[in-house]
Amino acid sequence: VHALDSSPPCEPQDEAAATYAEKISAADRKLDPRRTAAELERTVRALTNHIGAYVELPDAMRLGVLKARVRDADDHPPEGAVSLKGPLPVLGTADGALELVVVQPPGRRTMRGEDFLRGYRGKA
């Protein structure tokens, strides 16, 4: 209870140790398949509930990605390709693949990746 009764002491901060974070740009939102699947998964987590990440589909649709996971299987699309032929959309990355678990098509609600594939009528 004593901790709630008083304020913590002020500590001067070392200005030389401060860092600057660049503003997140629109280009930072696009999932770059030249990066590793783990890096892209972390990007999706970092941008979800903020401005969101996206991947561009073959028909130029920007598909928002709200949840993704690294795919461990050996069968994956080539780097930069998006496979729409499985149970989930899969993005080929530099070292493997990223499964798109929860997505959001433009102007639509969020949905599971498998639900998106059931209704998608673009280029596969």
Predicted confidence (pLDDT) at residue 24 exceeds the cutoff of 80: yes
Whether the Cβ atoms of residue 54 and residue 67 lie closer than 8 Å to each other: no
Distances (CA, A) of 85 to 9, 61, 70, 108: 59, 17, 17, 21
Say how many Å lie between the first and final Cα of the chain, rounded: 62
List, for residues 59-70, the tens digit of each pLDDT value.
Answer: 889 999 999 999
Domains of the chain: 30-119 (3.10.25.10)
Distances (CA, A) of 21 to 24, 60, 67: 9, 31, 24
List, for residues 79-91, the tens digit of each pLDDT value.
Answer: 999 999 889 999 9
Q: By percentage, how much of the chain surpasses pLDDT 70?
A: 96
Length reported for the chain? 124
pTM above 0.75, yes or no: yes
Q: What is the mean pLDDT of the chain?
A: 91
